[in-house]
Amino acid sequence: MDVSKLKAGDNHYMAYVGPPTQYDFMGATQFRLLSTLGLRANHSLLDFGCGSLRAGRLFLTYLDEGAYFGIEPNKWLIEDAIKNQIGKDLATLKKPHFDHNGDFKTDVFSQQFDFIIAQSIFSHTGSDLITTALSNFKESLKPNGLIAATFIEGITDFDGRGWVYPGCVNYRSSTIRRFAEEAGCFVIRIPWYHPRQTWYVFSKEKHRLPNKAMLRHLSGAVLFEQEFDESWKRSKKIMHLFKSYLKQLLPRPIKNGLKKLMANRVNNR
C-alpha cells in the first residue's frame, strides 16, 4: 500500500497519528529529544497517547526490559505496530506495559516515571483535559523527572472542551504557562525543532529544567534533508514561522484557496 497517498488521521496505523510520510521522522525526533535530555536505558518512560509506537519502537529497543509504558485508547494502533514494525519477539524481549484508558489516568501502572512524553496530544485537547492530564502527569513523575509535551502555539486560545481529532487546537504561550502553574509544575519552551508544533518541558523542581546554556544544544536540527531545512536554515525558519502565523490570521476560505494554489503549483512542476 502506498501510504504517502493517505492523509493524517486516516484509518491506517501510519496515518492515524499524523502525516504518514513523516512516520519515521516524528518517531526519531522524539527519541533524539529524550536522549538529548538524558534518557538512559535504566530510566522508566511513559509514552502518553503512544499511538502506533512511532517513537515507541525506538524507545523500546533502547530501554531496559519493562521500562517502557504506553497509554493508548486505540488498541488497534499498538497491535498494528507490533505486527508491522516491532515484531512479537522484541515485544516479548522488552516487555512493554500498555494501558488503554481514555480518561487521562496515569496512575494505572502504580509507579512514577523518570520521563513522560506527550507528543501531539495537547494539540487535540480542550483546556479541561490539559488541566487533568498535567496534574496527573505531575503525580506520576519522579521528583527529579521531566515531562516533554507539544502544543500548537497560537495568537488565540481554543475555548472548547474534550478531545478534538483529527482537527487541531492552539493556545497562546501565556496560557500554556498558566496550565503549568495551575498543575504546580515549572515549564520552559525549548527550541527543539518540530514541523508543526512547539515543544515544552515541565518539571516538579525548577533546577531540573534545562538552563540557557543547555537550550543551545536543544535544536533538533536535521541536516542534509531538504524537507527539514527550516530546522536550521535561518531564512527558512523565519518563513516557516511567518507562514504559521499567517495561517491563523487568514479566514478559512482564503486559506483553502491558497492551499489549492500551492498544490497546483507543486503538481505542475
| Residue 81 in contact with ligand SAM, rule: CB under 6 A | no
**In whole angstroms, how close is the CB of 159 to ligand SAM at the nearest point?**
20
Q: Which amino acid is at 39?
A: L
CB 199 within 8 A of CB 190: yes
Residues numbered 152-191 forming contacts with ligand SAM, rule: CB under 6 A: 163
Q: How far apart are CA 122 and CA 169, in angstroms?
A: 8
Given the rule CB under 6 A, which of 51-59, 80-88, 210-218, 226-234 is the region that contacts ligand SAM? 51-59
**In whole angstroms, how close is the CB of 148 to ligand SAM at the nearest point?**
11
**In whole angstroms, how close is the CB of 231 to ligand SAM at the nearest point?**
17
**In whole angstroms, how close is the CB of 52 to ligand SAM at the nearest point?**
7
H helix count then E strand count, the chain: 9, 7
Closer of 54 and 94 to ligand SAM (Cβ): 54
* Secondary-structure percent of the chain, ordered helix, strand, coil, rounded to 5: 45, 15, 40
Please enumerate in sequence order all residues whose Cβ is within 8 A of that of 207, keeping only pairs 6 or more positions apart, or say none. Answer: none
Task: Give the CA count within 13 Å in the CB-facing half-sphere of 222.
Answer: 20
Interaction pattern, residues 17-36, with ligand SAM; x per rule: CB under 6 A: xx-------x----------
- The binding site for ligand SAM (CB under 6 A) comprises 17-18, 26, 48-51, 54-55, 71-74, 77, 102, 104, 119-121, 163
